[in-house]
Amino acid sequence: MLHVSFIKHIENICSHIEQKPVRLRAYERISGGDINDTYRLAMSDRDYFIKVNTADRLDMFEKEADGLKLLFESQSFVVPQVYHADVFEQHAFLLMEYVEALYQTENPKNFAESLVKLHQKINDQYGLSYDNYIGRLPQKNDFNTDWIHFFIKNRLQFQIDLAGDLIPTDILHQFDRLYQKLPELLWIDRPALVHGDLWSGNYFYNLQGQTVIFDPAVYYGHREVDLAMMQLFGGFSKDIYEYYQALLPMASGWQERLKVYQLYPLLVHVNLFGASYLAGISRILAYFVKNT
CB 257 within 8 A of CB 186: yes
- Residues in contact with 286: Cβ distance below 8 Å, sequence separation at least 6, in sequence order: 174
- Residues in contact with 225: Cβ distance below 8 Å, sequence separation at least 6, in sequence order: 194, 196, 261, 264
The CA–CA distances, whole Å, from 42 to 7, 35, 47, 48 equal 11, 23, 5, 7
The CA–CA distances, whole Å, from 199 to 41, 150, 155, 179 equal 26, 22, 17, 25
Rounded Cα gap, residues 56 and 90, in angstroms: 9
The verdict on whether 34 is a catalytic residue reads: no
Length of the chain as a residue count: 292
Out of 37, 146, 197, 215, the active site residue is: 197
Rounded Cα gap, residues 153 and 159, in angstroms: 9
Backbone angles phi, psi at 97, to 5 degrees: -65, 140
CB 232 within 8 A of CB 260: no
Which residues are catalytically annotated? 197
